[in-house]
């Protein structure tokens, strides 16, 4: 597995490979069931969870409606506090800005806080191309990096690995990246954690440049917030002389009072904790504490395009808790790599096609990576109706239509491979618009039901590989009602 998502196959092909891996499925099943059970208990402690959830959605929606105002306010506050704000329209520009800032310091290595935004833009690869080595300091991200792997979960990037695999990775690869693993390392969690602590400690104390993302950006003061469980984030944002934070523009919240809502929603939905062990906040720079230079890179990379979609924009509410992944039956079996994106699971299936578009095979397949069971919506702490957005994006893939791409209103062409689906939908619409035709079709289907095959031919074969063809009743509802007047005894 290489450290890039580029060139990965469409979801059905990647998922077929993943589901054939028995160890992967066992690791995923154990981890997701454990996390979701703990989350349910943590959420159940609050009697006002539904009100908190509604408040979280409302604050995000209000912020998104006035995003230009709050981003300008945040820029002014960060600048007034001694920081420098950079605007990045896309991944290439963000990578160019960060690479330049690092090289201007004269350093050739950086320590990183776990960041979905930097994974999204492929920052580590961009830095490596410029001769800069980026060290991941989150334990799970460290495992992924040492194993030359890719993250497969938003919260637990190495969820697809078990303790034995982690021990092997540490033993074989730690020396290539710094301090080697202790001799005789076992797979006991305590020993693995201690090996990672010793390996990372020297990097924290040596690094002059830190790179982070942010969970939230408070517009009224220009304060950035990172919540985490290990303390590595605190080390990365306080010890280096230069701190560079790459933050998606949707991460802004208007006030500290609004932040309070998310500091209750996020830990319970993600790690099943009442509060995060470490909540780090920083506002610009000071002379006596923390980094001497602070740079904030505000990342668009398709977010304003998503904002222009009145149905799809709700994906920008996401606070990256990963609760939707832990309840999704598709993710549990296929794992995160099959999604071909830094954002796996249900949220990735609606966010990635909006950020990257639906022109590639993998992106066009993601809205179909769901059973539409709705479990993801039920657990989402900001009430993103993921099934609604999935259906909306499926329509875009099949039918094409108006959309915003790179800030310009355009009309998308239908994706390839959906001609039969379009024809079927057009035929259904034509029949449903003509009651007489529909009634005749229902009667023909009822009278020939004994001749119907158990499996569909052609394009429908894949559907019936895992499903039964619904049985056609002896008569339609309309005919039954006409015959009985709605009375069961007739």
pLDDT at 3 over 80: no
pLDDT at 121 over 90: yes
For the CA atoms of 449, 450, 455, 459, the dihedral, rounded to the nearest 10 degrees, stands at -40
- Arithmetic mean of pLDDT over the chain: 93
Helices (H), 113-217: 116-121, 123-129, 139-146, 163-177, 189-206
Q: Work out the average pLDDT over 260-283.
A: 96
The reported pLDDT for the residue numbered 490 is 60
Question: What is the C-alpha to C-alpha distance for residues 153 and 31, in angstroms, rounded to an integer?
Answer: 11
The reported pLDDT for the residue numbered 454 is 83
Give the predicted TM-score (pTM) of the model: 0.90
Contacts of 197 (CB under 8 A, 6+ apart): none
The reported pLDDT for the residue numbered 4 is 63
- 182-210 pLDDT per residue, tens: 999 999 999 999 999 999 999 999 999 99
The reported pLDDT for the residue numbered 2 is 40
Strand order through the sheet with 223-228: 252-253, 216-218, 223-228, 278-282
- 30-81 pLDDT per residue, tens: 999 999 999 999 999 999 999 999 999 999 999 999 999 999 999 999 999 9
Rg (CA), the chain: 25
Nearest 5°: the CA angle 274, 276, 278 is 155
- 391-435 pLDDT per residue, tens: 999 999 998 888 888 888 888 888 887 887 788 888 999 999 998
Question: What is the C-alpha to C-alpha distance for residues 255 and 54, in angstroms, rounded to an integer?
Answer: 17
Do residues 238 and 231 lie in contact, with contact meaning Cβ atoms separated by under 8 Å? Answer: no
Contacts of 255 (CB under 8 A, 6+ apart): 218, 219, 220
For 133, phi then psi, to 5°, come to -100, 125
For residue 100, the tally of other CB atoms under 10 A from its CB is 11
The reported pLDDT for the residue numbered 424 is 83
Q: Work out the average pLDDT over 337-342.
A: 95
The reported pLDDT for the residue numbered 386 is 98
Question: What is the C-alpha to C-alpha distance for residues 308 and 67, in angstroms, rounded to an integer?
Answer: 12
The reported pLDDT for the residue numbered 1 is 36
Closest CA to 218 of 18, 59, 30: 59
For 267, phi then psi, to 5°, come to -65, -40
């Amino acid at each position: 597995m290489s450290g890039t998502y580029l060139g990965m196959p469409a979801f059905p092909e990647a998922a077929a490979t993943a589901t054939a891996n028995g160890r992967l499925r066992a690791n995923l099943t154990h981890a997701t069931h454990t996390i979701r059970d703990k989350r349910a208990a943590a959420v159940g402690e609050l009697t006002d969870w539904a009100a908190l959830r509604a408040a979280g959605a409302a604050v995000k929606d209000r912020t998104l409606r006035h995003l230009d105002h709050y981003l300008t306010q945040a820029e002014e506050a960060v600048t007034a506090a001694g920081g420098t704000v950079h605007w990045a329209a896309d991944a290439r520009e963000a990578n160019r800005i960060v690479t330049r800032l690092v090289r201007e310091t004269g350093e050739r290595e950086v320590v990183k806080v776990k960041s979905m935004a930097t994974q999204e833009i492929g920052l580590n690869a961009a830095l490596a191309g410029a001769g800069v080595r980026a060290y991941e300091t989150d334990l799970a991200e460290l495992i992924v990096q040492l194993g030359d792997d890719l993250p497969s979960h938003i919260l637990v990037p190495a969820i697809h690995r078990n303790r034995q695999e982690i021990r092997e990775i540490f033993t074989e690869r730690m020396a290539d990246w710094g301090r080697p693993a202790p001799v005789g390392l076992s797979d006991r969690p305590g020993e693995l954690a201690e090996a990672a602590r010793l390996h990372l400690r020297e990097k924290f104390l040596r690094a002059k440049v830190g790179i982070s993302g942010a969970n939230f950006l408070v517009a009224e003061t220009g304060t950035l917030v990172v919540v985490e469980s290990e303390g590595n984030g605190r080390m990365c944002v306080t010890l280096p002389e230069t701190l560079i934070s790459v933050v998606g523009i949707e991460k802004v919240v208007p006030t500290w009072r609004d932040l309070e809502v998310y500091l209750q929603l996020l830990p319970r939905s993600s790690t099943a904790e009442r509060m995060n062990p470490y909540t780090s906040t920083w506002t610009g720079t000071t002379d006596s504490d923390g980094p001497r230079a602070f740079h904030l890179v505000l990342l668009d990379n398709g977010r304003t395009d998503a904002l222009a979609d009145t149905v799809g924009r709700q994906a920008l509410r996401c606070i990256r808790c990963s609760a939707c992944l832990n309840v999704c039956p598709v993710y549990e079996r296929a794992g995160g790599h099959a999604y071909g994106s830094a954002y796996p699971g249900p949220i990735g299936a609606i966010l990635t096609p909006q950020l990257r578009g639906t022109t590639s095979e993998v992106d066009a397949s993601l809205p179909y990576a769901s059973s539409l069971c709705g479990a993801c919506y039920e657990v989402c702490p900001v009430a993103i109706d993921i099934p609604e957005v999935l259906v909306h994006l499926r329509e875009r893939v099949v039918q094409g239509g108006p959309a915003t791409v790179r800030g310009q209103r355009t009309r998308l062409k239908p994706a390839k491979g959906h001609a039969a689906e379009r024809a079927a939908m057009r035929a259904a619409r034509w029949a449903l618009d003509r009651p007489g035709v529909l009634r005749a079709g229902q009667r023909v289907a009822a009278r020939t039901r004994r001749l119907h095959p158990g499996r569909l031919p052609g394009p429908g074969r894949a559907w019936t590989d895992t499903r039964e063809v619904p049985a056609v009743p002896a008569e339609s509802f309309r005919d039954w009602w006409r015959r009985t007047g709605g009375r069961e005894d007739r």
